[in-house]
Amino acid sequence: MIDGVSHPQIEAVLGDIVDQHVDAVVNAANSGLMGGGGVDGAILRAGGDAQLAARRALRDRIGSLPAGEAAHSDAGDMKCRWVIHVVGPVYSRSEDRSPLLQSCYREALRVADELGAKSVAFPAVSAGIYGWPMASAADIAVATVRATPTDVEVIRFVLFSQDAHQEFARALSSGTE
């Protein structure tokens, strides 16, 4: 606790997000919520039929999920209890979409707080098929979670490649928690 404010433990690990023992895993979803490649496909496969049913129910309830917003579903067969879905922006050289990427992290933490989650695992949102440069994605992610008030106690960035892990470790070491 610093200045009477509780700060979460923030860490970066090399691994597979579907194997994390946390309350909630954040999914880098597409706006249709029904699976795709990368993190989204891995989470859908790991969650099995129960995750598919939970996503269908979420989609039927809210329709599509706009970029920068978050919604949750049950995790199905995963080790976590919830999946918090966010839709990151596609990277653009001609338009600053960083506020949408920041919103993904803030909104995911807002949903985690509503659920009562104390530990959350994040992927590198938008840094895969959506083309966001990894160094920038790491800087935005780390700065945003550090600046977002939350009751979450552990925030874990789970990175699939050594390069991504190095960028997030660099971003974590470049500031104060």
Could you tell me whether strands 154-159 and 119-122 are parallel, antiparallel, or unpaired per DSSP bridges?
Answer: parallel
Which of the following is catalytic: 16, 19, 40, 74?
40
Taken as a whole, the chain contains a residue count of 177
SS3 155: strand
Determine contact, residues 26/84, Cβ cutoff 8 Å.
yes
Number of H helices, E strands in the chain: 4, 6
Taking the C-alpha atoms of residue 57 and residue 100, their distance in angstroms, rounded to an integer, is 25
Dihedral class, residue 152 (left if φ above 0, else alpha if ψ from -120 to 50, else beta): beta
Please name the amino acid found at residue 6.
S
For the question of residue 40 being annotated catalytic, the response is yes
Please give the positions annotated as active site.
Answer: 40
